[in-house]
Amino acid sequence: VQLQASGGGLVQTGGSLRLSCAASGVTFTRNTMGWYRQAPGSQRDLVATVTSGGTTVYADSVKVRFTASRDNRLNMMFLEMYNLKPEDTAVYYCCLRAGYPVSGCRPNDFWGQGTQVTVSS
């Protein structure tokens, strides 16, 4: 399995961005894809997960501003981010794990390389 995240960039406070994650080599149809982010000096935190059945889970900090979705036919996941804040600045990673785990992705699951999101104040 390979994951490729894209769509990051520099945006002003209040702006919007759309991240994409393309997955290839996936052989298991029941799976969960997730977005995580890591700011400098911080741990990697969950942003959102989306199951292949369409169930989404969001971190409280992004719940009303971000929307995660998937296109299972294209093996892609998206993250629409609105009303961005400086504290959203981080490297955003996508991940994939078999099944519908409650806990999201683990370090030894499949991860993409990350895309930088910078929100200027």
Q: What is the rounded average pLDDT of the residues 65-86?
A: 96
Per the CB < 8 A criterion, the answer to whether 80 and 16 are in contact is yes
Question: Binning pLDDT at 50, 70 and 90, where does residue 28 land?
Answer: confident
Count of CB atoms within 10 A of residue 95's CB?
A: 25
- Express each pLDDT in 48-59 by its tens digit: 999 999 999 999
| Proportion of the chain above pLDDT 70, given as a percent | 100
Q: What is the rounded average pLDDT of the residues 22-36?
A: 94
Instruction: Give the three-class secondary structure for 88.
Output: helix
Query: Nearest-CA neighbor of 94 among 31, 40, 41, 42?
Result: 31
Question: Distance (Å, rounded) from C-alpha 33 to C-alpha 100?
Answer: 9
Instruction: Give the three-class secondary structure for 86.
Output: helix
Question: Distance (Å, rounded) from C-alpha 71 to C-alpha 86?
Answer: 29
Per the CB < 8 A criterion, the answer to whether 115 and 91 are in contact is yes
**Residue 94: its pLDDT value, please?**
98
Give whole-number Cα distances, 86 to 15, 111, 117, in Å: 11, 25, 10
Question: Distance (Å, rounded) from C-alpha 119 to C-alpha 16?
Answer: 10
- R_g of the chain computed on alpha carbons: 13
pLDDT exceeds cutoff 90 at 102: no
